[in-house]
Structure 1
Amino acid sequence: MEKPIHSGHGRRGRALLALSTLIGAALVSGAQPASAANPIIPDRFVADPSAHVFNGRVHLYVTDDQKNSGTYWDSNSWRSYSSSNLVDWTDHGDIFSVAGFSWASQYAWAPGATERNGRFYLYLPVDRTKIGVAVSSSPQGPFTDARGSALIDKARDTNVGDEPIDPMIFTDTDGSSYMYFGTRKPKVIRLGADMVSTTGPIIDLSVTGSTQYGEAPHLHKIGSTYYFSYSTGWPGQIHYATGSSPLGPFTYRGVILDYVNVSTNHHSIFEYQGQSYIAYHKNARAGGGGYKRSVVMDRLHYNADGTIRTVTQTSGGVGPFATFTAQHSDLRLDTSGSAVQQSTPSAAQSQHWQLRARAGDRVEVINRASGSCLEVPGTADGASVTQSTCTGSTSQQWTVRSADATTVSLVNSASGKCLDVPSSSRTSGTRLIQWTCNGGANQRWRRTAVQ
């Protein structure tokens, strides 16, 4: 996460100018911020995700943009979420604040995290000059200051660089742990076995090729190859380079993630249940922007030669997805513009739907292609079913009710009426409505997981 040094000039000026340019381009092109399945946290501005698999769940540690002033990255606490399916996220609330470090005063910026010997560690940049460590016996806290002083301190340590921020922890197969951090020049230092001390000097990492380093370092390993990825600046792409050692040197290989619609780009790569994912932030909610960002997630794919494909940024997110096929017609629930219809089965992502849990056993039914929610803007029989930007309203919430051993009905929470194919039509393209639930085959849907 980029934190400008000079007011009105230098990094801040470039970041704000670049952000204005990106927003202007979006307005000209008609692009809109994504909503729904992405962002994965739909009700709070959070950013700078650090994603980890602990105890079989994915844990996200984030910067809390919800609490900042909206004119700077000046929030004072970090937040945590966890999920077992990458769709439904448990909010663990504030897990640590700047006030938890007696030696720090402000700026809770991009966190890093790791686990060792059943203890969980957060690496937290503060004051734009220091990195502290907090520790807990649980991944969701409570965390306490592990040292009583900064692990990295620009006033005390040598070769810290412009700003010691964006810490990321990597533990190799031999048990050695390293912390990567820094702006403009990537830095790394080996951690002690206790995870709260350092061993040896801060080292400059070497990356060769047609690239530049800005901030947000990340390291992961596949086989014997180390993948070093990072933002190129403000605005920045996420580039990656490979090497045969966690200390480099690294050779530039390509772009993992293209520019997002804010000036900062910050990512975290992880594997869960045999699939690779990337979490990152962008402007993806109404009222969002460069200081009010949202965390999104997409799939990460490797080519046969070990190179990484550039990520496709989606509204629909990572799934899991399902199709819904009308019992009477064998046609699928589909979309066309804002309309919802039944269509001939195909591989189109407009026929893929994600169910995101809401309170009271209700769900949002979210389209993979658009990221929009299934909605009924009314309560009368015959009201058209549409898709629109997810807002959390009851008109966008549904109950999935078992109709028989093989089918379900989708019951709208606002009206209590069922998703219905009018007049039991068997015609592809027929627009869907809601109707008083009657158990008819035109209100029953076969749900099938998308592989």
Structure 2
Amino acid sequence: MQRSTFATFFSSVCLLSLGSAFAADEKPLDDAAKTPGTNPIFTDRFTADPAPLVHDGRVYLYVGHDEAGPNEMFRITEWLAYSSDDMKNWTSHGPVMRPTDFSWAIRDAWASEVEEKDGKFYLYTTVEHDETDPGKAIGVAVSDSPTGPFVDARGSALVSNSMTKQASHSWDDIDPTVFQDDDGTAWLYWGNQILYYAKLAPNMIELDGPITAVGIAPYEEGPWIHKHDGTYYLTYAAIDRSVSDDEQIHYATAPSIEGPWIPQGMVTGSGKNSFTIHPGTVEYEGQWYLFYHDASLTVDGVEGALGRRAVRAEYLYHEPNGSLRAVEQTEAGLSVPPTP
């Protein structure tokens, strides 16, 4: 597979990281100038790669904290958690983990997702492995609380670069997402340019079968899975260059978690000022939502950019024929009622 524009750019950039201690940051967000529910959701800092989880009547949202400076592509040093019971007003729970909390990782708090099983919360995430297996890797951490702190559940990577050989670059093992099916079986999907999946063991911290590559095009990264009325939906970042040279959110459907996945087209176009876009879908109190990011936010005079993004949300609708309605990216976001 040919390397994307992003991949070529990535290979020439040095990524940096920080290792400061966790800060106490659990508080309701208070932005008097912002109407609750409008986009972007958080305006006091740059955030990216949203991953929602519904638990005990609340929506928890996990994001990477973008901190790139003027000459940096990415610097993401920690994962943050927020929660809401109305999808408009959010409470910040501060950092829940940093890459170096994995003893075998050295940097890069890239995209993550949290899944709950049997009262435990498992954070699946992307980090840079140390020199023993260099390249991007997937780690899994565990906590007794959705707001952490999370600790390494294995002491080693769940998926490392040496385990996948189909890509021509070292960052194909990124953007993990986990889907638990109706029978309780959990499945891990991930990948940049190549989409991989594998079954997880019942303990949620080991693979329970082979790693399989999925042939789906166009596909770039950021997979996310949900199920609705018996159909499996895979949303992901892809690039249709007839639309834009920046990523858009596309989707595919399947009758089974193992496919076959049939591409269905674009859900929403590129995010403003952003090469990347990253979907996360969730159902809460009977309504579906789509989270994503762009780079339209300015914080304290610092403008958004590739490594300074902002998380947003819109309503998501399944049409009677099983398709997903195209999503318009709006400033109003969830501050207005959903369409009946």
TM range (shorter): 0.7 to 0.9
- Does 1:239 find its partner at 2:267? no
Aligned Cα root-mean-square deviation (Å)? 2.2
Structure 1 residue 4, shift from structure 2 partner: 4.8
Structure 1 segment 7-406 matched on structure 2, within 5 A = 7=9, 37-65=38-66, 67-70=67-70, 71-127=72-128, 128-155=135-162, 157-159=163-165, 161=167, 162=169, 163-207=172-216, 211-233=217-239, 235-261=246-272, 262-286=274-298, 287-319=303-335
> Kindly tell me: are residues 195 and 310 of structure 1, through their superposed partners in 2, closer, same or farther at Cα, counting changes over 3 Å?
same
In the TM superposition, what whole-angstrom CA distance separates every residue of 1:52-72 from its partner, at most 9, and x where no partner exists? 10111111111101x333522
| Letter aligned with residue 180 of structure 1 | Y
Counterpart amino acid of residue 137 in structure 1: D
Runs of 4+ in 1 over 3 A off after TM superposition: 2-10, 158-162
CA deviation digits over 1:176-216, x for unaligned, max 9? 10111001111101111000111111111233xxx401111
The residue that corresponds to 1:390 in the other structure is none
Query: Which runs of no fewer than 5 residues in structure 2 stay unpaired?
Result: 14-33, 129-134, 240-244
CA distance in 1, matches of 2:5, 2:157: 19
Aligned partner of residue 100 in structure 2, secondary structure = helix
| C-alpha displacement of 1:319 | 2.5
Tell me which of the two structures has the higher relative contact order, counting C-alpha pairs closer than 8 angstroms and 6 or more residues apart: 2
Hey, what does 1:410 align to over in structure 2?
none
Task: Measure the CA separation in 1 of the matches of 2:145 and 2:294.
Answer: 29
Distance 1:58 1:3 in 2: 35
TM-score by length of 1: 0.62
Higher helix fraction (1 or 2): 1
What CA distance in whole angstroms lies between the structure 1 residues aligned with 2:253 and 2:174?
Answer: 22
Provide Cα deviations, 1:370-410, integer angstroms capped at 9, x if missing partner. xxxxxxxxxxxxxxxxxxxxxxxxxxxxxxxxxxxxxxxxx
Structure index of larger Rg: 1
CA contact (8 A) 2:194 2:219 kept: yes
Q: Distance in 2 between matches of 1:146 and 1:84?
A: 29
Q: Structure 1 stretches of 5 or more lacking a match?
A: 13-34, 322-348, 350-449
Percent identity at matched positions?
37
- Report the Cα distance in structure 1 between the residues aligned to 2:103 and 2:166, rounded to whole angstroms: 22
- Count, aligned residues: 295
CA offsets 1:318-338 (integer angstroms, 9 cap, x no match) = 1256xxxxxxxxxxxxxxxxx
Measure the CA separation in 1 of the matches of 2:82 and 2:296. Answer: 18
Distance 1:120 1:160, change over 3 A: farther
Taking the aligned partners of 1:305 and 1:154, their CA distance within structure 2 comes to 40
2:230 partner amino acid? S
1:103-139 Cα shifts (integer Å, max 9, x gaps): 0001110111100001001011111421111100000
